[in-house]
Amino acid sequence: MTATLIDGKAIAAGLRAEVAARVKSFHAKAGRLPGLTVVLVGDDPASEVYVRNKGIQTREAGMISDEIRLPGSISQAELLAVVRKLNEDDAVDGILVQMPLPKQIDANAVIAAIDPAKDVDGLHPVNAGKLAQGMKALTPCTPLGCMILLEKSGVKVAGSNALVIGRSILVGRPVAALLLAANATVTIAHSQSRDLAALCRQADIVVAAVGRPELVRGEWIRPGACVLDVGINRMPGEGGKSKLIGDVHFASAREVAGQITPVPGGVGPMTIACLLQNTLTAACWRSGIDPETV
Ligand code: NAD
């Protein structure tokens, strides 16, 4: 059996087009455009690429995109002052502080300083708490993307056994909360878990969010299972170029799985598309508009 590929690129393009159409409807109702501000500290090359792509896709969706670039030597107090100013700026619906931050900065303090209503990354403890309690919240983008991929691929989540590998606040925990809210029976595995292979063999849905290239082997996968590979591992490729490898051994897993995301082109493209959706949701809530009506 060869798995059906889940085409994250195409599903993300569809979601971006949907958001762009809804932005027009929001504009007609609110008389303004949603605005996203990304704060980039330092000059990490990977972050530069992400931020550039976020800017391009935000503008393509018809929203206002702003970037604030700050030196890597910035102090904690100075960065918090920038965040507070954005909290008070009425034209800003979404604030995203690009991670990772330099060593002298306490990333948790920065996340906690963002107005939860503008926390389009969904990482603020208020939003994480709401998600854990099954309340409406701004939800982390990659986990939201995983749920949309499952839905668009017709995967039955309710009643399924779902295994989430990884327990970060960015991916593992929120995706587990979303799967639970969708009535899956959820297991969370992490670096101290015993016998990952046995846990995998019981899972109808596997979400791998570890950051270890090809950790999950094809022989661990239950035949017909759906495998979402969140991992992005940059490895040396041919001709001095780097290539991206997932957390799943794709060649062996696709022989057993029912559906699988490739890396790249699977979960990755969903993240920015969901960031745009979150920005629109934040703009609606801040303007007293039900997001379902735009
Ligand atoms: P993280 O380092 O914060 O967390 C990794 C988790 O994996 C930890 O909870 C740890 O307990 C667990 N872990 C480590 N070794 C393990 C092992 N041997 N067995 C089981 N669990 C183990 O990473 P993260 O931020 O959650 O990101 C995970 C991966 O997803 C990375 O490759 C990252 O680049 C990628 N990622 C992709 C996207 C995207 O597609 N847009 C977004 C975020 C993260």
Ligand 1 pocket test target in 141, 169, 171, 272 with most atoms within 8 Å of CB: 171
Res 247: pLDDT: 98
Assigned architecture for domain 141-269: 3-Layer(aba) Sandwich (3.40)
What is the three-state SS of the chain? Answer: CCCEECCHHHHHHHHHHHHHHHHHHHHHHHCCCCEEEEEEECCCHHHHHHHHHHHHHHHHCCCEEEEEEECCCCCHHHHHHHHHHHHHCCCCCEEEECCCCCCCCCHHHHHHHCCHHHCCCCCCHHHHHHHHCCCCCCCCHHHHHHHHHHHHCCCCCCCCEEEEECCCCCCHHHHHHHHHHCCCEEEEECCCCCCHHHHHHCCCEEEECCCCCCCECHHHCCCCCEEEECCCEEEECHHHCEEEECCECHHHHCCCCCEECCCCCCCHHHHHHHHHHHHHHHHHHHCCCCHHHC
Domain with CATH 3.40.50.10860 in the chain: 31-115
Question: Domain 31-115 class?
Answer: alpha beta
pLDDT interval class at 75 (50, 70, 90): very high
Q: Output the pLDDT for position 61.
A: 98
Does the pLDDT at position 99 exceed 90?
yes
Say whether 98 is catalytic.
yes
Percent of the chain past pLDDT 90, that is, above it, reads: 98
Render pLDDT for 170-229 as a digit per residue (tens, 0 to 9): 999 999 999 999 999 999 999 999 999 999 999 999 999 999 999 999 999 999 999 999
Nearest CA to ligand 1 atom 42: 142
Average pLDDT over residues 263-272: 98
Mean confidence (pLDDT) of the chain: 97
| Residue list, ligand 1 pocket, CB within 6 Å | 142, 165-168, 170-172, 189-191, 193, 196, 209-212, 215, 230-233, 267-268, 271
Whole-number pLDDT of residue 1 = 72
For CATH 3.40.50.720, the residue range(s) in the chain are: 141-269
Per-residue pLDDT of 23-63, as tens digits, reads 999 999 999 999 999 999 999 998 999 999 999 999 999 99
Residue closest via CA to ligand 1's atom 40 equals: 268
Q: How confident is the model at residue 80 (pLDDT cuts 50, 70, 90)?
A: very high
Does the pLDDT value for residue 273 go beyond 80?
Answer: yes
Give the global pTM. Answer: 0.98
